[in-house]
């Protein structure tokens, strides 16, 4: 599994954040806490890095993923009832623009951390872990 060790660490960090902050807060709070937790675990985290988006060689705007961990995995904290096809499509778009291969959707809505691993060109994995 591509970037298995990093994704496992991100999920563990997200579980630690959820255990401490509890479910249902604003996504930005989980994002900021996740930056701290991952950094304390020795990871490099870029928050809100901007990627230019072009169409027919014309700049049309910026793509801004929430977190990029160790330059290889996008982590996207959510507070949603459930992941849907739009979330997966958004992550596939992020992977296409950033030229990365793996993203993790992390759902902090409930006491149980739900996550979905989205891989460019591969099938996706959906899991829930006790927070």
CB proximity list for 80: less than 8 A, separation 6 or greater: 87, 107, 109
The pLDDT confidence band at residue 120, using thresholds 50, 70 and 90, is: confident
Q: Is residue 128 part of a domain?
A: no
- Model confidence, pTM: 0.88
Q: Is residue 92 part of a domain?
A: yes
**CA 120, CA 105: separation in Å to the nearest integer?**
14
Total domains present in the chain = 1
The whole domain housing 11 covers 4-122
Tell me the CATH number at 97.
Answer: 3.90.320.10
The pLDDT confidence band at residue 24, using thresholds 50, 70 and 90, is: confident
Please list the residues that pair with 22 across neighbouring strands.
none
User: Angle at the Cα of 45 (from 127 to 8), degrees rounded to 5?
Assistant: 30
């Amino acid at each position: 599994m591509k970037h298995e060790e990093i994704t496992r660490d991100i999920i563990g960090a997200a579980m630690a954040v959820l255990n401490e902050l509890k479910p249902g807060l604003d996504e930005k709070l989980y994002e900021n806490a996740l930056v701290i937790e991952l950094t304390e675990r020795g990871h490099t985290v870029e928050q809100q890095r901007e990627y230019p988006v072009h169409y027919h060689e014309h700049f049309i705007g910026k793509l801004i993923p929430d977190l990029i961990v160790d330059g290889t995995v996008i982590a996207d904290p959510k507070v949603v009832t459930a992941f849907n096809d739009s979330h997966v499509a958004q992550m596939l778009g992020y992977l296409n623009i950033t030229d990365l291969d793996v993203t993790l959707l992390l759902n902090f809505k409930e006491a149980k951390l739900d996550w979905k691993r989205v891989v460019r060109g591969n099938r996706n994995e959906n899991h829930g872990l006790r927070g």
